């Protein structure tokens, strides 16, 4: 089941929003702004069904992790671990 990528950012309920603390001049955040994420959603959504299976992860997350994996020459396990630890990776792929 296809879950669409979110275009709305939800601020933190209990404190300063994490994205507001990040450096907007960081190369990853600039790259994230330059990537046409909607085109990936449209291209890959044909491979998902709306009625079968559990909800998918957002396509932007999947594509973003693949891009980060290639940029940083990481293994599958390492890119997931870095995504959990690095707010710039989270902002890039979410």
Q: Is the dihedral of CA 50, 53, 5, 32 positive or negative?
A: negative
Kindly state whether residue 64 falls inside one of the protein's structural domains: yes
CA 6 to chain centre: 10
Number of domains within the chain: 1
Range of the domain at 58: 25-93
d(CA 80, CA 54): 21
Q: Using one digit for the tens of pLDDT, what is the confidence trace for 18-45?
A: 777 899 999 999 999 999 999 999 999 8
Judge whether 85 lies within some domain. Answer: yes
pLDDT tens digit at each of 94 positions of the chain: 566 666 555 555 555 567 778 999 999 999 999 999 999 999 998 888 778 777 788 999 999 999 999 999 999 999 999 999 999 999 999 8
pLDDT for res 76: 95
State how far the Cα of 29 lies from the Cα of 21, in Å rounded to an integer.
12
- Is 3 among the domain residues? no
Q: Please report the pLDDT score of residue 77 as a whole number.
A: 97
Q: Phi and psi (nearest 5°) for 54?
A: -75, 155
């Amino acid at each position: 089941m296809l879950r669409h990528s979110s275009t709305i950012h939800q601020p933190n309920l209990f404190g300063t929003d994490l994205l507001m603390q990040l450096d907007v001049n960081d190369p990853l955040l600039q790259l994230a702004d330059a990537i046409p994420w909607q085109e990936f959603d449209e291209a890959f959504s044909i491979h998902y069904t709306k009625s079968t299976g559990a909800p998918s992860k957002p396509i932007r997350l999947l594509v973003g992790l693949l891009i980060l994996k290639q940029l940083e020459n990481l293994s599958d396990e390492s890119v997931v671990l870095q995504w959990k630890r690095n707010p710039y990776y989270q902002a890039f792929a979410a």
